[in-house]
Amino acid sequence: MDILLTLARWIDHLNDRFGIIAKYAVIASCLISAGNAVIRYSFNISSNAWLEIQWYLFAACVMLGASQVLRLNEHVRVDLFYGRLTGHGKVYVDLFGLIFFLVPVMSVMLWLSWPLFLQKLASGEMSSNAGGLVRWPAVLMLPLGFAMVLLQGLAEIVKRIAWLMHRYEMDIHYERPLQ
C-alpha cells in the first residue's frame, strides 16, 4: 500500500502542476480576449489567430483543470443521498463511482481521442479560417486531459482504499454529515 500511496502522491503533484497551467491559461485567455477587443475596436485590426488561441487556452483550462478539480474533491455531484452520508458511506459511493464510471469512461475517451490527436499531428491540419492556427495543440488537450483525469481517478481509488484501511488521512468532509 505504501508504494501505491507514493504513486498517488506523485499523481497529485503532477496534477497540481497541470492545475497551475490551467490557472494561467484562464488568465492568458482573458488578457488576450480583452487585448483583442481593445485592438479591434480601437484600431479596426483583428486576426482569427487571436480568437482561436482563446479557445485553445480554454481547452487547456478545462481539460487540464478537470483532474485538479477531482483531486481537490470539488467536482459536482448530483446525488440525492450523498450529502447525508458520513465517512464510510461517502467513501464507498466515491469508490463505486470512480471504479465503475470514471475509470471506464476516461479509458474509452483516452482510447478514442489519441488517434484523433495523432491524425491532426501527422497531417499538420490548419484551421480553415484566414490566419488560423494549426489544430493539433488544441486536440492534444483531449487525450492529455482524459489521461490526467484517469490517473487522478486511480490515485483517488488508492487513497480511499487506504483510508478504509486506516492508512491514509482524508479531508474532514468525510467525517461529518451534511446538516
Lowest mean pLDDT among 30-34, 98-102, 162-166: 162-166
Query: Which residues span the domain enclosing 35?
Result: 2-174
What separation in angstroms does the CA of 168 have from each of 3, 9, 54, 73, 80? 13, 11, 40, 16, 27
Phi/psi at 126 (5° precision): -110, 160
Tens digits of residue pLDDT in 115-135: 999 999 999 888 887 777 888
161 belongs to a structural domain:
yes
**Where residue 162 falls among pLDDT bands split at 50, 70, 90?**
very high
Task: Please give the model's pTM, rounded to 2 decimal places.
Answer: 0.86
Mean pLDDT calculated for residue range 133-156:
95
28 belongs to a structural domain:
yes
| The pLDDT of residue 173 | 56
Assess whether pLDDT exceeds 70 at residue 106: yes
179 belongs to a structural domain:
no
Reduced to 3 states (helix: H, G, I; strand: E, B; else coil), residue 176 is coil
76 belongs to a structural domain:
yes
Report the mean per-residue pLDDT for the chain.
Answer: 88
Structural domain total, the chain: 1
Cell numbers of 98, please? 470512480
DSSP label at residue 45:
-
Reduced to 3 states (helix: H, G, I; strand: E, B; else coil), residue 117 is helix
- Give the best-scoring range by mean pLDDT among 30-44, 69-83, 105-119: 105-119
| The pLDDT of residue 171 | 61
132 belongs to a structural domain:
yes
151 belongs to a structural domain:
yes
Phi/psi at 131 (5° precision): 75, 15
**Where residue 98 falls among pLDDT bands split at 50, 70, 90?**
very high
To the nearest 10 degrees (0 to 180), the angle between helices 48-71 and 136-164 is: 10
12 belongs to a structural domain:
yes
- Give the best-scoring range by mean pLDDT among 46-60, 99-113, 129-143: 99-113
10 belongs to a structural domain:
yes
For the residues of 11-29, what is the DSSP string, one character each?
HHHHHHHHHHHHHHHHHHH
Tens digits of residue pLDDT in 8-66: 999 999 999 999 999 999 999 999 999 988 988 888 888 888 888 998 999 999 999 99
